Amino acid sequence: MRSDREKVVQMLKTARGQVDGLIKMVDEDRYCVDISHQILAVQAILRRVNKEILHGHLNHCVKEAFTTEIAQEKIDEVMAIVDQLLKG
């Protein structure tokens, strides 16, 4: 992984903490709308993590692949991720 590892790990730890908080909220039978807001916050962090990882991948792995025979393979990998992102 060529993205900013520290930044990615910190964001994932934040998301993990929020998921732990969500479990507690559900266990405590908290208000559904509050739980939903927290779910949206976790999803936002995960989207930012994914963006960071994909930027690193494009700027390093894919860029380097253009000088080799595996360029199309790298493009196909990224396109598969884009297809999944557009489904959601």
CA dihedral over 65, 70, 83, 3, signed as positive or negative? negative
State the pLDDT at residue 49.
95
pTM: 0.80
Domain range for 73? 5-87
* DSSP, residue by residue, 17-65: HHHHHHHHHHHTT--HHHHHHHHHHHHHHHHHHHHHHHHHIIIIIIHHH
> What is the count of structural domains for the chain?
1
State the pLDDT at residue 21.
97
State the pLDDT at residue 37.
97
CATH number of the domain where residue 38 is located: 1.20.58.1000
State the pLDDT at residue 62.
85
pLDDT values of the chain reduced to their tens digit, one per residue, 88 residues: 666 899 999 999 999 999 999 999 999 999 999 999 999 999 999 999 999 999 988 888 888 888 888 988 988 998 999 899 888 6
Would you state the structure tokens that stand for residue 38, as one six-digit string?
């927290």
